[in-house]
Amino acid sequence: MAQQEFIPYEQALELKELGFDEPCLAFYNGKFLDSTNYDFDSGECRDIGQCVKTPTYSQCFRWFREIHNIVFYLNMVDINLYYYVIETKPFLHFNTYEEAELACLCKLIEIIKNK
């Protein structure tokens, strides 16, 4: 996976302090991103240094949704202008996030097909 898929070191440290403890594909050994030489069964890092589990952005956002029940979305106003919205008490139209995600994906495909 490309490095830009993983959250930065500072945020990985903050998530660790918040209790994030999910298996990850990478970790920071010191401040350097490395692939998993992390032994998830024993909880020990095989490399020397401070190991910090490093989730992908997707994994991190899923953790906030599923563990903390926080709903959010990011949107684009213009090609170089983006915003985000965070809700703690959302209005639900789908039974699961995955259903909503799939419906959104299908709609995106439909929009592009119709262009």
3-class secondary structure for 49-100?
CCEEEECEHHHHHHHHHHHHCCEEEEEEEECCEEEEEEECCCCCCCCCHHHH
Identify whether residues 56 and 30 lie together within a single domain: yes
Task: Report the share of the chain in percent with pLDDT over 90.
Answer: 8
Give the global pTM. Answer: 0.68
Q: Which two tokens stand for residue 9?
A: 């070191």
To the nearest 10 degrees (0 to 180), the angle between helices 57-68 and 97-113 is 140
Q: What are phi and psi of 74, to 5 degrees?
A: -115, 145
Task: Provide the residue range defining the domain that includes 78.
Answer: 69-113
The domain tally of the chain equals 2
Q: Please identify every stretch of the chain with a pLDDT value under 70, giving residue numbers as ranges.
A: 1, 31-32, 34, 36-50, 88-92, 105, 108, 111-112
Question: What DSSP state is assigned to residue 23?
Answer: -
Identify whether residues 58 and 8 lie together within a single domain: yes
